[in-house]
Structure 1
Amino acid sequence: MAGLVTAALTLAAATSPAAPAALAEDTRLRAADPGSTLHIGLSPVKTAHDLLAGETLTLTAVFTNRGAVPVHARIRYADALVRSPARFEFQEPGGEFWSAGSWLEADPEEFTLGPGGRQEITLTVAVPEDTPDGQYYAAYFVEASSPGGGTDGSAVEIGGSLAAVVCLYVGEHVVRSAELVPYHRVPRPAGAPEGLAAVRTALVHWWRCLVIADRNVAFISEGHPLKVFVPIENTCDAYIQPRVTLRFYEGDVLRREVVYEGEIIMPGLSKVMEIDWPGPPLFGRFRLDLHIEYHGPEPIEAMRSFWVVPVKGLVGLVLLAFGLGYAASGRGRVRSTRGRPPAAPGTR
């Protein structure tokens, strides 16, 4: 999956390059001179490939310098360890049986790039002949520093690094499997709401969002953009990269088709793919057909139908009818009072 990670690194005195603790984290340092920043990018940050033992693969990555100072960069290789759907840990290659960091070789491994520059990096992945079948993870860091100091001539230097992960499945016969799971089974991401905020979020999802697993929302208030939540779990020993096709029907008429390229999901992990409905649905009956391809034996198919009810409009009509009825009853009372003969003196 191609992607761009950028880091805004601000010049600070006597700072050495530091490896990030997780993939795709930005590194930001406080500056003595706020106008002096080092802005670097790396793309792609995660790729996945099927290889055989003894096979070689060539990849291309792009490193960019969007800042105002030149940078000196060098490549460092590492093993990647999956800790969660969004978090990797890195260590020196060769320490584990699944080590694949030593399979990487970059060209060039060291270079200097001026402001606004762009450097292509050719990455070669060479799988050893005797590699057992299985899932392997490799990573490489582009470590950058500002060799010339700040733009104001101050003798300062900063550094940071960006990581990219290469997921590899080695083997001739790859059997992949995946399934849709209930929304609550997917681990919550870091920083997810807790307490009352979590309850509120769950209620909002329950009311406004069509959840593709075990249930569907029957009525959705008009005027709100609809999100389709697709919770999918990788139930095999190899990575999967889902490709989701959503077909939106109004009644029985196809209105839109959306294709969504999902992120790579590691073995045994699950992820919720959030897909926006292209425009708020109006009043009526709708149907959504879901088709997921992930290089498994058969695609995942699902269908959900729902109604969109103009809740605000209905409430307005009820209030209007109540008001008209109340006004009509008031006029009737006035007319009946006017039609009565005046009471005789001394009587009630």
Structure 2
Amino acid sequence: MAPRAGARPYFYLSGTSGAVLEDRLALDNTSDREHTVTLRGADAYNTADGAFAVRSAKPAAGGGSEGPVTGAGLWISFGAGTTVKVPAHTRAVVPFTVTVPPGSPPGDHPAAVVATEAGREVGVRVHLRVGGPALAALTVEDVSVRGKGASARVAYTLVNRGNVTLAPELSIRARGTFGEVAGRSARTLPVEVLPGQRVELSEPWPGAPVFDRVALDLTVTAPGGARATGSASAWFVPWGIAGWTGLGLLGLGGTAAAALLLARKRRSRAGDRHGTRPHGSAVPEQAPAPDHELTGATR
């Protein structure tokens, strides 16, 4: 099956709760043999990285994103045209309906039309909007910095809290110890976040400093008035400096411990010379230990 020039890349349907909407799907067979195609409606969702996906017709073991259709995919019906035979070099046009149940909430209900043949599937997106108040809302969560230098990336999670699909735009502002640090100017992200979905993304940050403490502010906006900000802070310290600093602190700690031990030894000897042993204790007389005992030398 192959799409013709000028074909719509997706279906866009809108109506009120309880409405019955109609459209048509064209199947082009450009091969030299007949094809038998099975058609169905499917729910759509975002994968973890933001890609558009449709649910399988088969229940998934243990649940998860796959599984039986429970959303707008159920509203799509092909009637008697669920299975279609398309002769060689022929185009078949199949009508279908979308029946919006009464009481359906307003907003976007993402779905898809899926054609299956011999285990292979191809789908077309269905943008379905039910009339009523539209709410564009999102949040930015779990902001963090990964890597360093030119390979540094800012990771974050976007959650669509509204009832419409969002095409977000992101900008990054960074402030270091001595002022502004190069961030990222506003740009449209290559994802569409569906209602109720969350996606985990990361953004290259080539302007990350080599040595500084930086505060980051991520601002995300989308048409409809959606706006959210997430923050994070990060230390950027070259490994060479970090290692040298750690060894220096370790050496300082060892010197302090040795000085403390030496001070205790000296106080102990001073007490022996002035007869300050606890009352009633019997301690045999012995020569005081030589000072070089602290160095580990043999007596």
Under a length normalisation based on structure 2, what TM-score does the superposition of the two structures give?
0.49
